[in-house]
Every structure is written in C-alpha cells, then in structure tokens.
Amino acid sequence: MNSAEKNTLFIKQKATELGFLYCGISKADFLQEEAPRLEKWLKENKHGEMKWMENHFDKRLDPRLLVENAKSVITCLINYYPEENLAKNNQYKISKYAYGTDYHFVIKDKLKKLIEIIKEEIGEVNGRAFVDSAPVMDKAWAVKSGAGWLGKNSNIIRPKTGSFFFIGELIIDLPLLTDQPMKDFCGTCTKCIDACPTQAITEPYVVDGSKCISYLTIELKEQIPTLFNGKMDNWIFGCDICQDVCPWNKFSVTNTIKEFEINPMLKTMSIKDWQEITKDIFNESFRNSPIKRTKWEGIQKNIKFIEQAHL
C-alpha cells in the first residue's frame, strides 16, 4: 500500500469516527465544466440580491487559489434529518436544517479536528476548512467526490440516504486517492419541479435563486415581491418542499448529532407566538441557531407578507 492509499484510508476512517455520513476525495483542480454554467447563472441574475456570489469568481472555480499548492479536496457530509417534522400545515414553517445549532459551527469544528488528526498522523499538511461561507462550490466538489449526484432540484442526493445533509470541505496540499462521480438516478421523475409553488426550478437541474422560497425568506432583505402572494405555503424561514417530495428522502434516517437536536422552543411555537415574539426573546432563543441569520425583523417581515396574502 503506497502512502497516498494509506493516507486516504486513514482520513476516511477518522471522518467516520467524527460522525460524518460520507467522506470523498477529488483532485484540487480547475472546475472546467462548472465555469460556463456559473457565468451563465450569474449573467441571468438567478442569484437575485446575493451579490456576494459574483465575488471571487476565479477562486470559486479553482481551489488552488484558496490553498497554496492544493492537491486534494476532501468533501464531508453530515446528516441533519430531524427526529420530527415540525412543518405542519396549520403552522408557520421552518426548514429542517434550522431546527438545531447553526451547522457552520458544528461542521467547522469537526473539520478542524479532522485536519489536526491528519497533521498528527501524517505530518506537516497545509489546508483550510470550508463550510458554506467562502467561495467554494461545495455541490460541484460533492459530485466529483462521489458523495451523490446533483438532483433536478439542485440538491445533492445519495441513494439510500436522500438529501438532508450538510456539505463541508477540507482543501489540503496532500495528494490522495480520488473517488469517482456516481450515476444520476433522478430518471424521469419531476416531483420536485412540479411541487415548487414559486416555479423556482426553471428547468431540470437549474434553480432560479431569486424565486426560491428559501431565498425570499432568508437572503432577500427587501420586501417579498407581490407576485409571490399566496405561494409561500406558510414558510417563514427556508423551505423543504423540493426535498420532502423527493422519493429518495424516504430513506432518510434521524441524525445522531447532539447539536442538531431540535430547539425545544421550536416545538412549542404557535402562529400567535411567532407573531408576538419580542426581539429580545428571539435573539436569546435563537442565538446559536441558523434562524438568527434573517434576524427578528426578517421573520416579522415574512410573517406579515404571508398574513397579508390571507386577507
């Protein structure tokens, strides 16, 4: 067994021990196929007000610009499927990914532990951990690493697992054995496209971010456009519709990550509670939650938009 093979097996074993659902590896190289797709998507303004996606275009496509002498991209998945679905029809709805502790903290800590373990075992290795907060095309690397295929709803899907997982990366200057992409198993299914109330999936594998309920309730700081009146389906933070209808998610199993246990406050919140929650209580209750991203003002804006549509 050569050193690259030995190191690869060691890293994957340690990733499993840290609680990752999957660990796959791809060569740190220029994303040739993704470059024209990203350019087209941005030119068509499908990122809406997310102007930060226009920044660092070159770095998004080449990990070697993020980590000097980068050789490998290690992609790790972590399951967040909850023990209970709180999105009931007669209540305001929160995306499942926001039920527990902010995933940025949880995954970054685990990735940092992984790189420390790599350094202890292998020696001087230079690298950085990335979790959805830097110019890294995590879905592209997930596909390259064999983590799953890109579904028609633009989420990564794994057979016998589904799509309710987070993605994080380690970009390191250590050569490793690479994994192969897997086949696309979406077939002729269009359930995600048919179910989207805002028609955000404009064609298979292409999502117009500016129409997505997750974008409208989290990223959009302005008022939600009136053309989405009556189409929000009571979502006030994020949206799970295109994942909930995906047949592959019947295989989803409850996560075992303590930090992703459901915030007890979310289990008891009624429509009246959401409407009347004060800024101070909101900030205290959700200080370690992804929900804080939209702030109290954003949640109240989303609630008012939904309620106006009911008038």
Active site residues: 132
Identify the residue whose tokens are 């048919």. Answer: 194
Q: Please, are residues 150 and 113 in contact by the beta-carbon 8 Å criterion? A: no
The sign of the dihedral angle between the CA atoms of 205, 219, 293, 169 is positive
C-alpha span between 234 and 307 (Å, rounded): 9
Identify the residue whose tokens are 């030119």. Answer: 43
Contacts of 269 (CB under 8 A, 6+ apart): 91, 92, 277
- Measured between its terminal Cα atoms, the distance across the chain in Å is 69
Strand, coil or helix: 143: helix
On the 0-12 / 13-18 / 19+ scale of CB atoms within 10 A, 158 is buried
Angle at CA of residue 79, ends 73 and 80, nearest 5°:
125
